[in-house]
Amino acid sequence: MENQVITFSSGLIANVEERLISGKIVPAGTGEVGNTSAGKVVFEKGAIALPEDPKTVKLLNQHDTRQPLGKATQFTEQEDGIYASFKVSRSNRGTEALILAEEGLQSGLSVGVEVIKSKQKGNIMVVSAAKLLEVSLVTEPAFKSAQVLDVAAEETPEAVEEEITPTESETAVENTPETVAAPAVEAAAVEAARPTVVTATTFVRERVAPITGAQYLEANIKAALGDDEARRVVRAADDSTSTNTGLTLAPHLNTFITDTFTGRPAFEAVTRSALTESGMSFTVPRMYTNNATPNTAPTVADTNEGAAPSETGMTSAYDTVDVNKFSGLQRVSFELVDRSSPAFMELMMTELRKAYESATDKALIAAFTANGTQATGVAATAAGLQSFISVEGAAAYKGTGGDFANKLVASTDQWAAIAGYADSTGRALYSAQGPTYNASGNAVATSVRGGILGTDLIVDHNITTSGVIDESAFLVAPSSVYTWESPTTQLRVNVLTSGEIEINLYGYLAIYVAKSGKGVRRFNYTAP
């Protein structure tokens, strides 16, 4: 089948002094669904191949190759997707683009990709491999996680002489009576410590003929099963208010502010696979030369001429791995679901997914702690960190029979300490600009990834230890830790006789630390 080309939108972030437009162009690995030219699409982490030279990717206006606006200067892959920056030209068209972005009239970045590998899950295309073709400045973004934050021009723009041709939005919106328009909100600049912003949908009040109690119940059941028409009936029929006064008694902006963290950094340090189709446990074969009988692997020895080789006596055993269910349940009233504005369900589902990510990541960290090997004690210093990585890296390689412990999963306190380590002249040992002749790696305040003494630094906010102490960091060999997980989280909705709806999000995960935990080395603090 010929590769498919699709376009989709995300939000832009523009910057003020240097005629730059930047933003998240691909929300990859987050599960966020976008409405694209090919329908509903989700991008897996690492799915989009980026060009070696960013300048080969142009910034267009509304996908029109005859209207170039600038070209890319950088692409950055972060935990929640791919970010890009574009230098806007000094043409009238480029200046016009900056004005429109500043005024919120063109507030999205639309991306065209060539799909190389994908699979269908229901009505959603899950893309695992794609090639980036172009990026455009557009009127209406398709991905809801994006917002315009600020725009910049190097100089005060002069009057635009070119005739502006109106363009249609990428996403057609039906004009519906009594639609409450979302008020314009001036967003602040992005900072690492700022809360996450989730954009909600527009609330529309429906009108239908009066219905009986039985019809009302039937509509609620069908609505819980996904019937859109039934949901409109329920929404129109329900004219009461919820007891949740924080969401329903007063008008609100279509923006939610949440302090909930997201992401599963520790999973970047292990081997990941899909679960088997059935069962709450399964077995994995175990055979190591460095373990006691019955785990003996084949051996080869120098044999004299004409002599028969000795039999190894190979033996093996099986380890049982348990499958664990991680789930969360919320019970809400019909009124809260149907009458909340902004849309409460969107926020609740986002928070449930974040809670699932946090719970599963903490479970993996707990497995590191319970099954890893305690390292030789070191001081909470730069020299102690160097000793931890060098000594335990060698110990992991020897103990596992050749697995490299090349992932350093660290707490935020360890991260802070690493970023502050300096030599006798005050120069950073782990430079924010990348490794240099006097640096041993890099640690950046705006990224949870870096490099420390040849290992990949992965900062994980789910490590709850306080300070540079025991278990505040783990040196991990990915080939010695395995996880198996259900391909997607499951969602179940139950309509209760109490006039409430239960929403249950869950998934299945199995974790196995192999080779007696010798591929996981736990940081061990010893007072200097």
Place of tokens 């574009």: 86
Give the tens place of pLDDT for each residue, 32-53: 887 776 678 888 888 888 888 8
Higher pLDDT, 355 or 348: 355
Whether the upstream peptide bond of residue 342 has omega within 30° of 0, thus cis, is: yes
Q: Give mean pLDDT, residues 391-396.
A: 95
Residue 441: per-residue pLDDT: 82
Give the tens place of pLDDT for each residue, 71-80: 999 888 888 8
| Distance separating alpha carbons of residues 270 and 85, to the nearest angstrom | 31
Asked if 502 and 493 count as a contact pair (C-beta separation under 8 A), the reply is yes
Threshold 0.85, pTM exceeds: no
pLDDT score of 154 more than 50: no
Q: Please, which residues have CB within 8 angstroms of residue 507's CB and are 6 or more apart in sequence?
A: 325, 326, 327, 356, 360, 485, 486, 488, 489, 490
Distances (CA, A) of 391 to 214, 377, 394, 423, 497: 71, 11, 5, 21, 62
pLDDT score of 127 more than 70: yes
| Sequence ranges of the domains in the chain | 4-138
Residue 381: per-residue pLDDT: 93
pLDDT score of 184 more than 90: no
Determine which of 32-36, 257-261, 288-292, 407-411 has the lowest per-residue pLDDT on average.
288-292
Give the tens place of pLDDT for each residue, 288-331: 665 555 566 677 888 888 888 877 777 777 889 999 999 988 88
Distances (CA, A) of 304 to 22, 308, 310, 311, 330: 69, 8, 11, 15, 72
Asked if 187 and 12 count as a contact pair (C-beta separation under 8 A), the reply is no
Give the tens place of pLDDT for each residue, 162-171: 443 444 433 3
Residue 143: per-residue pLDDT: 55
Asked if 489 and 506 count as a contact pair (C-beta separation under 8 A), the reply is yes
Burial class (CB in 10 A: 0-12, 13-18, 19+), 512: buried
DSSP letter at 220? H
Asked if 143 and 42 count as a contact pair (C-beta separation under 8 A), the reply is no
Q: Please, which residues have CB within 8 angstroms of residue 256's CB and are 6 or more apart in sequence?
A: 197, 198, 200, 342, 347
Give the tens place of pLDDT for each residue, 207-218: 444 555 556 656
Coil vs helix vs strand at 388: helix
Higher pLDDT, 190 or 442: 442
What is the percent of the chain where pLDDT is above 70?
Answer: 68
Residue 47: per-residue pLDDT: 87
Distances (CA, A) of 403 to 137, 172, 397, 434, 475: 46, 53, 5, 27, 12
Q: At what angle do helices 228-237 and 213-224 cross, to 10 degrees?
A: 140
Residue 237: per-residue pLDDT: 58
Residue 43: per-residue pLDDT: 85
pLDDT band (50, 70, 90) for residue 12: low
pLDDT score of 7 more than 60: no
Residue 3: per-residue pLDDT: 57
